[in-house]
A and B are shown apart, each in its own frame.
Chain A
Amino acid sequence: MKEGGVVKLSLFFIVLLSLMPFALALDDLVSFTYSDTSGNFNGVDSFSALNKTITEGDVSRLYAPGDSAVFNFASPNISSANVELLISVEDITPWNATGSGTITLLDIDGDSIEANVNGIWVRIGQSANFVGLLENAQLSSGDGTFDGTSGSPFSTTFPHETPFMGNILTLTFQGWFTNSSDNIAPFNDKTTLINGVVTGELPDEEEECEDCVKVPIMSPVLYLLLIASLALMGWYSYGRKP
């Protein structure tokens, strides 16, 4: 490579590295699916989806080490477990609406996943769909594990920063908030599917573990000294005849 080319390439890479944006690393923490919940609309501005006997749920820890708690609401062991989704329905048109509210998932012994929900309702064919974000999501610990009626309990402790953020929720049921005359009308017990993923961001390493023994090979000062030593060795010997 020519000398000029080396200089230009050096400058290019220095500029490139300095312009590299900070990459935000979001991890999927928990996913949840509840099928056959009971969807209700009060005919004014409020939608709710609640568990009933035929509801089945699956809440999975996606972040290592994994595991999945399964909920069968017909099971005698269901205890205090429930799913409760309350969303407002505003600016209703025959094809869309806006909504915000809360979602609460309870396990069989009091651990919970709670979040605010914000998004939009969209009518696609005969199906109403809600797409939105979970905000301010919190996993509160009772006994520290999320237990279902079957499956494997998982730890509700994550190394990520709370509250968790930037999460997606979808919600589907047959029907819409207006009747065939395009008038707003209530409904009860529409079979509703709830899906969601909670994500989170790891804190900066410095904040994450102040008392940890980090095991870098050497300090930056010693490393710079090593670079300089190698550069000097190369400088004095390069191009010399043996």
Chain B
Amino acid sequence: MEESHKKKLFFLLKFILLFIIITFLLSLPMIENFLINFFITLSKVFLSFFHEASWEIINNKVYINSIPFIIVKECTGISMYALITSFALAYNPSKKNLKYLAIAVLLLVALNTLRIITLFTAGFYFQEYITTLHNLLWPSTFFFFTLLTGYYYIKISK
């Protein structure tokens, strides 16, 4: 096998291994619950701007105009943080690049907050757009944001 192929294979194995480890760590109940509670708290802060009669939070369910939203592990973005972190660490874990990784993860959290806020806002005012936002707009935004982050990370690593 060529040397360059060996290196590439090595990168892929590191990527997969780190992805498994980081996903496992982020899925520990302590971290998972912290993230779920974090987004529920953010939701409460945001919803406090609206009239109380139109929303209610019971455990991890948010009712907006009787539409039940449920905040579970998948809503916290754990999978995205794990993916971008494992990619960055496998590709080039230099100190300088790790700063970019931290910024990227923070941007993902901000983007996810914005996503939840827009979904709730749609629950209040634009219920007919919830499906479009939920199934099309936000998934593609996250898809391209993560790809661009990966591309930029490769660029700054050169």
A-side interface residues toward B, CB under 8 Å? 1, 3, 6-7, 9-10, 13-14, 17, 23, 64, 159, 205, 208-209, 211-219, 222-223, 225-227, 229-231, 233-235, 237-240, 242
Contact = CB atoms under 8 A, between A and B. Distances in A.
A218 B142 contact: yes
Contact of B139 (A205, A218, A237): A218
A1 B16 CA distance: 14
A209 B70 contact: yes
Interface in B46-84: 58-59, 61, 67-72, 74-75, 77, 79-80, 83
Contacts of A212: 61, 68-70
Interface of B: 4, 6-17, 19-21, 24, 29, 58-59, 61, 67-72, 74-75, 77, 79-80, 83, 87, 90-91, 112, 115-116, 119, 130, 134-135, 138-139, 142-143, 146-147, 150-151, 154, 158
19 contacts: A1-B14, A13-B21, A13-B24, A14-B20, A212-B70, A213-B68, A214-B72, A215-B71, A215-B115, A215-B134, A217-B74, A219-B139, A225-B143, A230-B15, A230-B147, A233-B150, A235-B11, A235-B12, A238-B91
A1 B151 CA distance: 25
Nearest to A23: B29
**Overall SS of chain A's interface:** helix
Nearest to A155: B58
A238 B7 contact: yes
Given A209-B70, A215-B69, A239 B143 contact: no
Given A10-B17, A213-B67, A217-B77, 18 more contacts: A10-B16, A13-B24, A17-B24, A23-B29, A205-B72, A209-B70, A212-B69, A212-B70, A213-B68, A215-B70, A215-B71, A216-B74, A217-B138, A223-B83, A227-B83, A231-B12, A233-B150, A242-B158
B154 A237 contact: yes
Contacts, number: 125
Contacts of B58: 159
B75 A216 contact: yes
Contact of A214 (B29, B70, B143): B70
Given A222-B139, A231-B15, A234-B15, A213 B134 contact: yes
B151 A233 contact: yes
